[in-house]
Amino acid sequence: MEAEITELATRGATALVGLMVTEAWSRVRPRFAALLGRDREEEVGQELEEIRIEVADDPEEGAAQASQWQRRLRLTLRNNPEAVAELRAILDEFDPNRPEQEAGSTYVYNTIKDGTHSGTTIQAGRIQNIHP
């Protein structure tokens, strides 16, 4: 069970920090604040918002933050078995590879791995589920 909790906490922390710089942040922040805060949701929500600003200003800060949040998530999951299901639900809902998205919704996911990017970026996409 410990390996499963560690893996889930790692996925959760990576998703948390990654979502901080997306349009989904306003929807996912209260969910993580409730998961991590329990009786301190507002305080944790404010902490998450402060970290989001740091990560947005310095993308390299994301790796350090993910490591810290992974530890906090692991402790939360160990101490509260219901939190496992809550975190899985958040990860499923905000999974960038999720095949079924609501009609009319817009999801944009950008990933930069092993380095920084400077210069022009061209993003392409496709429209799915067009309804008259």
Please tell me the predicted confidence (pLDDT) of residue 91: 94
**Residue numbers of the chain with a pLDDT score lower than 70:** 98-132
Determine which helix (DSSP H) or strand (DSSP E) holds 15, and give its type and residue range. helix 2-19
Please tell me the predicted confidence (pLDDT) of residue 122: 59
Please tell me the predicted confidence (pLDDT) of residue 29: 95
- Are 61 and 50 contacting, i.e. CB atoms less than 8 angstroms apart? no
Distance CA 73, CA 68 (A): 9
Cα–Cα distance list, 56 to 42, 47, 73, 82, 98 (Å): 21, 14, 21, 31, 25
Within 13 Å, how many C-alpha atoms sit on residue 51's CB side? 24
Distance CA 63, CA 61 (A): 6
- pTM for this prediction: 0.70
- Are 71 and 60 contacting, i.e. CB atoms less than 8 angstroms apart? no
Please tell me the predicted confidence (pLDDT) of residue 103: 39
- pLDDT tens digit sequence for 54-64: 999 998 888 89
Q: List for the chain the helix, strand, coil content (%; round to 5).
A: 65, 0, 35
Q: How far is CA 63 from the centre of its chain?
A: 13
- Are 29 and 65 contacting, i.e. CB atoms less than 8 angstroms apart? no
Q: Is the backbone of residue 98 left (phi > 0), alpha (psi -120 to 50) or beta?
A: beta
Please tell me the predicted confidence (pLDDT) of residue 35: 94
